[in-house]
Structure 1
Amino acid sequence: MTDTTYDRPRLRSEVVLGPALRSGPRTVHHVKDARTGGYYRVGPREHFLMGLMDGRHTLADIGRRYTEVYDRRLGPEHWQQVFTLLGRYQLLDGHADDAGLDQLKQAYEGKQSAQQGWLRRRWVLLSPDPLCATLARRLAFAFHAAFLVPAFVLVVAVQVFVWTHVATLTHEATHQKSRAITLLLSALVLWGITVLHEFAHGVTCRHFGGTVTEIGLSWRFPLLTPYCRTDDIVLFQRRRDRVGTAFAGVFVSLLALAPVVVWWWLSGDGVLGRPLAAGLLLFGSGAAVMNLLPILRSDGYVMLTHALNIADLRRESYRFWQLKLRRRDPAARERLSGYPPRDIRAYAVYGVVSLLLLLSAYGALMWVWFSSLQHWVGPVWAVTILGAETAAVAGILSLAARGRSGRRRAADG
Structure 2
Amino acid sequence: MSSSVYSDVATQVTGYSRFREDLVITRADEGNSTSRYCVHDPVSDISFELGKAEYRLAMLFDGKRSLHEVASTALDQLRMKVSEDKLAQFERRLLHLKLLSQGDGTHKKDLQDPATGITYGPLKTYLLVNLIKMNPQPLLDSLYRLAPWCCSRGFVAPLLLLALCSFGYLGMHMDAFIDDAVVVYAQSYRWLLWHFPVILTSIALHELGHAMACRHYRVNVTDFGIGIYLLLATGWVRPEQRTWTKLPLGQRVTTILAGPFVSLLYAGVGIALWAAWGGSGPFGALFVVMIVASFISLVPTLLPIFNGDTYLAITEWLGQPRLRQRAFNYVKGRHRATAQPVSPAMHRLYWGTVLLTGLGWIAAWGFTANTLIHLFNHP
TM superposition score normalised by structure 2: 0.61
**Rounded Cα–Cα distance in structure 2 between residues aligned with 1:140 and 1:200:** 13
SS in 2 for 1:225: strand
Distance 1:189 1:16, change over 3 A: farther
**2:151 maps to what in 1?**
143
Post-superposition offset of 1:245: 1.7
Distance 1:259 1:138, change over 3 A: same
| Residues 1:228 and 2:237 aligned together | yes
**2:272 maps to what in 1?**
262
Distance 1:141 1:365, change over 3 A: closer
| Residues 1:156 and 2:156 aligned together | no
**Rounded Cα–Cα distance in structure 2 between residues aligned with 1:229 and 1:288:** 20
The answer to whether the 8 A contact 1:14-1:35 is kept is: no
Post-superposition offset of 1:158: 1.9
Post-superposition offset of 1:172: 0.8
Please, which of 325, 329, 333 is the counterpart of residue 319 of structure 1?
329
- 1:180-206 Cα shifts (integer Å, max 9, x gaps): 344313432332222111221122122
**1:289 maps to what in 2?**
299
Letter in 2 for 1:265: A
Structure 1 range deviating more: 145-154 or 354-363 = 354-363
**Rounded Cα–Cα distance in structure 2 between residues aligned with 1:252 and 1:129:** 19
**2:2 maps to what in 1?**
12
Please, which of 134, 137, 140 is the counterpart of residue 142 of structure 2?
134
The answer to whether the 8 A contact 2:163-2:268 is kept is: yes
CA RMSD in angstroms comes to: 4.3
- 1:241-268 Cα shifts (integer Å, max 9, x gaps): 2112221111111112333333222215
Superposed structure 1 runs of 4+ greater than 6 Å apart = 80-83, 112-117, 219-222, 364-371
SS in 1 for 2:234: strand
Please, which of 86, 89, 93 is the counterpart of residue 93 of structure 2?
89
- 1:213-248 Cα shifts (integer Å, max 9, x gaps): 223346767955222223638514311221122211
**1:165 maps to what in 2?**
173
The answer to whether the 8 A contact 1:219-1:225 is kept is: yes
TM superposition score normalised by structure 1: 0.57
- 1:146-196 Cα shifts (integer Å, max 9, x gaps): 112212212221222233333221211222599434431343233222211
Is there any run of 5+ residues in structure 2 with no aligned partner, and where?
Answer: 8-27, 29-35, 42-83, 112-119, 375-379
| Residues 1:350 and 2:357 aligned together | no
SS in 1 for 2:236: strand
**1:189 maps to what in 2?**
198
**Rounded Cα–Cα distance in structure 2 between residues aligned with 1:282 and 1:36:** 38
**Rounded Cα–Cα distance in structure 2 between residues aligned with 1:153 and 1:16:** 46
**1:201 maps to what in 2?**
210
Distance 1:284 1:268, change over 3 A: closer
**Rounded Cα–Cα distance in structure 2 between residues aligned with 1:106 and 1:331:** 27
May I ask how many residue pairs the two structures share in their alignment? 289
The answer to whether the 8 A contact 1:173-1:278 is kept is: yes
Q: Residues 397-412 of structure 1: matches in 2 within 5 Å?
A: none
- 1:316-375 Cα shifts (integer Å, max 9, x gaps): 212332353x1xx5654xx43x4362x44432222111122234445667889999xxxx
Please, which of 263, 266, 271 is the counterpart of residue 281 of structure 2?
271
Post-superposition offset of 1:15: 3.8
**Rounded Cα–Cα distance in structure 1 between residues aligned with 2:280 and 2:174:** 19
Distance 1:114 1:85, change over 3 A: same
Distance 1:263 1:355, change over 3 A: same
Letter in 2 for 1:348: W
Distance 1:133 1:310, change over 3 A: farther
**Rounded Cα–Cα distance in structure 1 between residues aligned with 2:368 and 2:280:** 32
- 1:268-289 Cα shifts (integer Å, max 9, x gaps): 5742333432332233124213
**Rounded Cα–Cα distance in structure 1 between residues aligned with 2:344 and 2:278:** 59
Identity rate, percent? 23
Distance 1:319 1:90, change over 3 A: closer
**Rounded Cα–Cα distance in structure 2 between residues aligned with 1:339 and 1:81:** 37
Letter in 2 for 1:350: T
Letter in 1 for 2:203: T
**2:39 maps to what in 1?**
37
SS in 1 for 2:235: strand
Letter in 1 for 2:2: R
**2:220 maps to what in 1?**
211
SS in 1 for 2:358: helix
The answer to whether the 8 A contact 2:302-2:310 is kept is: yes
Letter in 1 for 2:159: A
Distance 1:280 1:112, change over 3 A: farther
**Rounded Cα–Cα distance in structure 1 between residues aligned with 2:279 and 2:298:** 27
| Residues 1:246 and 2:256 aligned together | yes
SS in 2 for 1:209: coil
Q: Quick check: which has more Rg, 1 or 2? A: 1
Distance 1:330 1:183, change over 3 A: closer
Is there any run of 5+ residues in structure 1 with no aligned partner, and where?
Answer: 1-10, 18-32, 40-79, 92-100, 372-413
SS in 2 for 1:228: strand
